[in-house]
Each structure stands twice: as C-alpha cells, then as structure tokens.
Amino acid sequence: MEKNEELLADFPKTWILEDGTKVTVRPMVKQDRDRVALFFKRIGEDELCFLKDNVTDIRVIDRWIERLDYDRVLPLVADINGRIVADASLHRRKEGWRRHLGGVRVVVDPAFRHKGLASKLIDELTAVARKEGLDRLYAEIPADDQAAINVFQDRGFTRVALFEGDIIDRAGKYHDMAVYHLELTERR
Ligand SMILES: CC(C)(COP(=O)(O)OP(=O)(O)OC[C@H]1O[C@@H](n2cnc3c(N)ncnc32)[C@H](O)[C@@H]1OP(=O)(O)O)[C@@H](O)C(=O)NCCC(=O)NCCS
C-alpha cells in the first residue's frame, strides 16, 4: 500500500461530539468545492482576519482543490449530512530544511463551536503527524485570537515567539502573530 493510501485508509471516521452531534471526518476531495465555499461564507467578517488566506475568494478554494496533494497539505473536513462544519489542515514540506515540521490550521462553523470539534481535529492531525514521523507541529495564530490560543494551549502547544505586526488584515490593520509549537519527538 502506498504511503498516501495508508494514511487515507483510516478515514472516514465518525465522531460523536460532546453534545451528541454526529460528524464524519475525512480528507477534503474535489467534489467538496462548493460545500467548502459555503462553509467559509458562514465565518463572520470579524474572524476572516484570523485566517491566513482570503477564503471568500472562490479562486483560493479552487487552487486548494486543484492542487490537492495530501502529502503536502492534508485538509480534513468534518461533515454533517453534506454540510461542512469544520476544516483543519496539516501543512508539510516534502523537501528542504523544514521537512521535519508540520503546520496546523483549524476553522469551525460558528454554529458548531464549543463541542470539542477543534480539539479533536487538532488531536487527529497530531496523530497523523506522529505516524508520519514529524518532529514538531507549529501553529501561527494572531495574538488577539484568544479562542484559538486557548484551544492550541489546551492541546499542549506552547508559545515560542511573537512577531510584532506580522499580520495585516483585510482592513489594513496590523496584528501581532504568535507562533506555538508542539514537540512530537525528543530527537533534537
Ligand atoms: C478557534 C476555534 C477553531 C475553536 O473551535 P471549537 O470547536 O469551538 O473549539 P473546542 O470546542 O475544541 O474548544 C476547546 C477549548 O478552547 C477554548 N475556546 C474555544 N472557543 C473559545 C472562545 N471563543 N473563547 C475562549 N476560549 C475558547 C476553551 O478552552 C475550550 O474548552 P471548553 O469548551 O472546555 O471551554 C473556532 O473558534 C474558530 O474557528 N475560530 C475562527 C478561526 C480561527 O481563529 N482559527 C485559528 C487559526 S489557526
């Protein structure tokens, strides 16, 4: 079995959230394009500035979908009867000096928050990263995104750096960017 297939063999997974909600978790596929676009439409303007990419631009989603390569970016979606309620991704470089690192991002539909979904998705991606032999996970989070900071800290991530003004939002406002790490091995 190829590495990619082996990774995919674990999915789909069915999870029961803290309030009993049943979700299916699986890698994003090409057919998800419109559902992913709809998902990001449900994220408020005030939170779009917390996301790295301009997800309101369908060309951004198209680029993700066209270039799906799970060894580079593994996007997991949580699906409830065809409605995508969360997107969490593990970002990797196949080559070069950052090939031992994995970046993690997560967004949850406002109607499905506080049910432990982001936490479970981060744990799932952490398990994938361990399986893949990565040394460390990182998350780049706007320093004023307290919800995300709490979630990542709860999962064991710790702040290792703060870059002043490294983020500029859609309105042109500057934000500090905090970097969080989770060590997966003691190799270093
Ligand atoms: C951050 C985010 C992903 C959290 O999703 P979620 O599914 O609600 O998170 P969980 O239910 O797993 O929350 C786990 C813990 O995080 C903390 N937390 C979650 N939302 C919070 C909030 N709005 N304020 C403060 N703490 C919060 C709590 O400690 C929570 O534990 P509790 O439920 O026992 O109180 C979600 O708010 C979101 O999508 N925000 C916009 C996008 C974003 O900021 N992404 C991060 C960039 S990497």
Dump pLDDT digits (tens) for 113-163: 999 999 999 999 999 999 999 999 999 999 999 999 999 999 999 999 999
> How many domains, in total, are found in the chain?
1
Does residue 82 form part of some domain?
yes
Predicted local distance difference test score (pLDDT) of residue 2: 59
pTM score of the predicted model: 0.93
Q: Is 153 in the pocket of ligand 1 (CB under 6 A)?
A: no
Of residues 165 and 53, more confidently modeled: 165
More confident residue, 7 or 23: 23
Query: Ligand 1: does its nearest atom lie under 6 Å from the Cβ of 106?
Result: yes
CB 138 within 8 A of CB 179: yes
Give yes or no for a contact between 138 and 181, defined as CB atoms under 8 angstroms apart: yes
Backbone angles phi, psi at 16, to 5 degrees: -105, 120
Ligand 1 nearest-atom number relative to CA 122? 12
Q: How far apart are CA 81 and CA 79, in angstroms?
A: 6
Q: What is the CATH number of the domain that holds 159?
A: 3.40.630.30
Whether 79 is in a domain gets the answer yes
pLDDT above 70: percentage of residues in the chain = 98
Domain annotation covers residue 188: no
The reply to whether 176 falls in a domain is: yes
- Cβ of 137 below 6 Å from ligand 1: no
The boundaries of the domain holding residue 165 are 3-183
In a domain, 152, yes or no: yes
